[in-house]
């Protein structure tokens, strides 16, 4: 009798478990898990994989030679998870890239690492700069809104400044972050949503944030970018603490096909510079445009900035302040002012 009761109990338990399993299979599909937190790999440039002999808190060999055109350079040490890019042609050129540790000479009065033990440095000498990093991020809910930002600062100077402080034209170097909503990796694509250019001399500053809606493929590409107006001797761009997060969920996808990827180009040519304007008395003058600085105008006409100060004494504001549409005397008839030659438009020449 006891054995019979045991067998009946086992049978009832089997039926009960089977019904639970069947009811689970017949239920609705589980809701997708909400995406939270950081979406980037290696957002602070600390590294993903480290050499076995790395000390605690440090990550040796936390870089690759990854470049956007597949080329290999022994002076490019791109942080893991990222790709280095740059504008080619004309006066532009390939940058040197270093994943820098939080030790001298990157510490002290002007710290080059914002947090953690590493940051990334991109730099070149005497060439125009349009350089940065990008990272492709997949698996995001289509239609979601993502937000991208990073911290950056620069050192821009045309002379040997022992402490590494920015000098000269304060608008020579600017920083931006961007998002390609459909994952386009061409840094010159018209599909990229860019933040406004920002100055960040000597001290870290938040660049962005910028937001964009993720395309139907669920993949975006994010960009870090630094640009210069002049080919100064020192042009360092430091980046740290990037971040990509979802700020609002997506909407149901439509049947509209995504736009085709853009064709990789080397971007638009730099804007033309002003030409000398002679007055009836033979003096060369310059009409101030938005964004002009006294130092930049002196470089444009290849004259000493003190010459412009002397010829325009009484019409300059405090700290060389000038106004849009203001007429500045560049040189008198006995002097010659020649604008610096324009960089040639970029061409698709591999480096």
Range of the domain at 316: 277-331
Residues 153 and 236 in one domain: yes
In a domain? residue 31: no
User: Residue 180: is its pLDDT beyond 70?
Assistant: yes
pLDDT band at 193 (very low <50, low <70, confident <90, very high): very high
| Adjacent-strand bridge partners of 175 | 198, 226
Does 243 lie in the same domain as 283? no
**Residues 97 and 190 both lie in one domain:** yes
Which of 248, 266, 291 corresponds to the end of one domain? 248
Residue 117 lies in a domain: yes
Q: Say how far apart CA 324 and CA 313 lie, in whole Å.
A: 17
Please check whether residues 201 and 85 belong to one and the same domain: yes
Measured in degrees and rounded to the nearest 5, phi and psi for residue 296 equal -65, -40
In this structure, are 218 and 312 located in the same domain? no
Q: Examine residue 293 and state whether it is found in any structural domain, yes or no.
A: yes
Query: Confidence class of residue 34 from pLDDT cuts 50, 70 and 90?
Result: very low
pLDDT band at 304 (very low <50, low <70, confident <90, very high): confident
Please count the other Cβ atoms lying within 10 Å of the Cβ belonging to residue 300.
20
pLDDT in tens, 309-321: 889 888 887 767 7
* Predicted confidence (pLDDT) at residue 341 exceeds the cutoff of 90: no
Average pLDDT, the chain: 82
**Structural contact between residues 137 and 185, judged by C-beta atoms closer than 8 angstroms:** no
- Give pLDDT tens digits for 114-168: 999 999 999 998 999 999 999 999 999 999 999 999 999 999 998 887 778 988 8
The predicted pLDDT at position 19 comes to 42
Residue 318: which CATH number? 3.10.350.10
Model pLDDT, residue 9: 52
Q: Are residues 101 and 143 in the same domain?
A: yes
Classified as helix, coil or strand, 296 is helix
User: pLDDT value at position 21?
Assistant: 37
- Confirm whether 44 is domain-assigned: no
The pLDDT of residue 279:
77
Residue 141 and residue 67 in one domain: yes
Stretch 9-31: mean pLDDT: 39
Residue 320's pLDDT is what?
73
Q: Please report the pLDDT score of residue 164 as a whole number.
A: 82
The verdict on 242 and 294 lying in the same domain is: no
CATH code for the domain in which residue 193 is found: 2.60.120.260
> 172 and 296: one domain?
no
pLDDT score, position 262: 55
pLDDT (tens digit per residue) in 318-336: 767 788 888 889 888 875 5
User: What pLDDT is stored for residue 27 in this prediction?
Assistant: 32
pLDDT score of 269: 54
Q: Is it the case that residue 254 has pLDDT exceeding 90? A: no
Is there a single domain that holds both residue 88 and residue 199? yes
Examine the pLDDT at 266 and tell me if it is beyond 80: no
Considering the domain architecture, whether residues 101 and 188 belong to the same structural domain is answered as yes
In the chain, the number of structural domains is 2
- pLDDT tops 70 at residue 212: yes
Rounded Cα distance between 129 and 274, Å, is: 21
Indicate if 67 and 179 belong to the same structural domain.
yes
Residue 261 lies in a domain: no
Dihedral, CA of residue 119, residue 125, residue 127 and residue 129, to nearest 10? 10
pLDDT, residue 312, reads 85
Answer whether residue 272 is part of any domain: no
* Candidate from 67-71, 112-116, 346-350 with smallest mean pLDDT: 346-350
Q: Is the pLDDT of residue 220 over 90?
A: yes
Rounded mean pLDDT, 278-301:
79
Q: Cα dist. 163→7, 151, 157, 160, 167 in Å?
A: 87, 21, 11, 9, 11
Is residue 198 assigned to a domain?
yes
Buried b (16+ CB within 10 A) or exposed e, 64-90: bebbbeeeeeeebbbbbbbbbbbbbbb
Does 313 map to a domain? yes
């Amino acid at each position: 009798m006891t054995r019979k009761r045991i067998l009946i109990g086992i049978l009832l338990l089997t039926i009960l478990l089977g019904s639970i399993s069947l009811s689970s299979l017949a239920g609705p599909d589980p809701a997708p898990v909400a995406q939270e937190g950081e979406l980037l790999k290696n957002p602070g440039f600390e590294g993903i994989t480290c050499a076995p002999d790395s000390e605690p808190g440090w990550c040796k060999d936390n870089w690759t030679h990854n470049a956007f055109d597949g080329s290999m350079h022994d002076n490019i040490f791109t942080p893991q998870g990222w790709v280095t890019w740059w504008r080619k042609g004309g006066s532009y050129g390939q940058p040197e890239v270093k994943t820098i540790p939080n030790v001298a000479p990157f510490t002290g009065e002007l710290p080059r690492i914002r947090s953690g033990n590493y940051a990334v440095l991109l730099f070149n000498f005497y060439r125009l700069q349009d350089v940065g990093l990008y990272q492709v991020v997949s698996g995001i809910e289509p239609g979601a809104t993502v937000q991208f930002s990073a911290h950056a600062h620069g050192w821009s100077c045309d002379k040997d400044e022992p402490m590494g402080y920015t000098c000269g034209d304060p608008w020579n170097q600017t920083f931006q972050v961007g998002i390609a909503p459909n994952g386009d990796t061409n840094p010159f694509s018209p599909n990229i949503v860019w933040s406004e250019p920002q100055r960040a001399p000597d001290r870290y500053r938040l660049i962005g944030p910028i937001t964009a809606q993720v395309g139907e493929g669920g993949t975006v590409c994010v960009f870090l970018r630094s640009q210069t107006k002049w080919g100064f001797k020192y042009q360092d761009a430091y980046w740290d603490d990037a971040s990509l997060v979802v700020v609002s969920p997506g909407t149901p996808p439509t049947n509209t096909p995504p736009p085709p990827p853009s064709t990789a180009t080397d971007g638009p040519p730099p804007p033309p510079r002003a030409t000398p304007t002679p007055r009836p008395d033979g003096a060369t003058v310059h009409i101030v445009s938005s964004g002009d600085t006294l130092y930049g105008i002196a470089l444009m006409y290849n004259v000493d900035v003190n010459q412009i100060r002397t010829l325009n004494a009484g019409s300059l504001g405090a700290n060389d302040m000038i106004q849009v549409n203001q007429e500045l005397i560049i040189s008198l008839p006995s002097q010659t002012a020649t604008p610096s030659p324009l960089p040639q438009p970029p061409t698709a020449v591999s480096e």
